[in-house]
Amino acid sequence: MNKVLVTGGAGYIGSHVVQQLTSRGEYVVVIDNLSSGYREAVQGAELVVGNVGDTALVASVLQHHGIDAVMHFAAHTVVPESVSDPLKYYGNNTCNTRNLLAACAEAGVSKFIFSSTAAVYGLTAHGVADEDTPTQPANPYGRSKLMSEMMLCDHCATGAMRHVILRYFNVAGCDPKGRIGHSAPSATLLIKAACEHAVGKRESLAIYGTDYNTPDGTGIRDYIHVEDLATAHLRALDHLREGGTSLKLNCGYGHGYSVREVLDSVARVGGHPLNIVELPRREGDLGMLIACSDRLKQVLDWQPQYDDLDFIVRTALLWERKMVSKRVPLSSVA
């Protein structure tokens, strides 16, 4: 049986991928240090608590389970924090990825799927990026991920393995059935934060920057539902198993929504107005960034199922309401 190691599989995106993998009968092992993930989010897979930078631990897991492919999600992802504490991001995102690759090389792992980000592009000429757009990240988070991409590509160039790099745009929403969701404390992702406010977890909601060169002055982003993103990972795994070549692929819908449009959707779906505070721009933020994801659709035959802003918001709001109904601290739930 093919066996998959998922690093960071107890976190938001990783747990949704694990759920899809196990649902189709895959043998999955998760390594997660639970710094921002939760045991309860790992469903149908074995959880090993530890750090992906621990080469000895990873080597043991790879050998013991006979791992055939690795999906690497474990990372810090908050842009403002990366600006204030860049070494934290280079240490966890870049150095730990190097250690993980070293363990994979020693174990002979032949397939690697890397969780990357649109932040590797930085400021683009028209706010749109395809895979050939020059990479010029505007913050340490994006640079830490780009360095990891470069290491992975250099390693694969030796013939040791093949890879798929998936560059995420703005991931949002939760499992439509409400089984797992996004529960990281102090979340900064817009739809997550807005839905927390809608259910009373936050007193207000901030818009950072209202003077961008966009129709309503607020930043525009390409929002992709986490389930569609998870499906892209399974397609990538199938591609590598079928002998496909290494790839870099954007993951987005190819159109964007402004911050105000997103908040209007949350108010509409939630059924009440939001208490919005307007604040200055944050360092490292961009005015607009939208994916050209034609290559993902063409090469992997990926077709999104949930390309609807109100649906994305509805699934995120469903999860937040479920957490409120449990009446337990956010930090103790999956």
Task: Single out the residue of 120, 276, 136, 118 nearest to residue 210, CA to CA.
Answer: 276
Using pLDDT thresholds of 50, 70 and 90, give the confidence band for residue 324. confident
Extents of the domains making up the chain: 3-172+223-251, 190-221+254-292+306-332
Helix H segments across the chain?
12-23, 55-65, 79-84, 86-89, 96-107, 140-156, 190-198, 226-241, 259-270, 294-300, 309-326
Strands 27-32 and 46-49, bridge-based pairing? parallel
CA angle 295, 300, 303 (to 5 degrees): 85
Would the pLDDT of 157 be above 90? yes
Q: pLDDT at position 327, please?
A: 58
The CATH number of domain 190-221+254-292+306-332 is 3.90.25.10: yes
Using the predicted structure, report yes or no on whether residue 329 has a pLDDT greater than 70: no
Gap between the Cα atoms of 51 and 33, Å rounded: 5
Summarize pLDDT for 88-124 with one digit per residue, the tens. 999 999 999 999 999 999 999 999 999 999 999 988 9
**Interval 160-173 mean pLDDT:** 97
332 band by pLDDT with thresholds 50, 70 and 90: very low
- φ, ψ for residue 22, nearest 5 deg: -70, -30
Q: How high is the pLDDT of residue 21?
A: 97
> Rounded to whole angstroms, how far apart are CA atoms 164 and 75?
17
Instruction: Please state the rounded mean pLDDT for residues 77-86.
Output: 92
What's the pLDDT tens digit per position in 261-274?
999 999 999 999 99
The pTM is what? 0.94
Which position among 38, 141, 208, 253 bears the catalytic label?
Answer: 141
Whether 212 is a known active-site residue: answer: no
Helix (H, G, I), strand (E, B) or coil at 166: strand
Please name the fold of domain 3-172+223-251. Answer: Rossmann fold (3.40.50)
pLDDT in tens, 173-209: 999 999 999 987 777 889 999 999 999 999 999 999 9
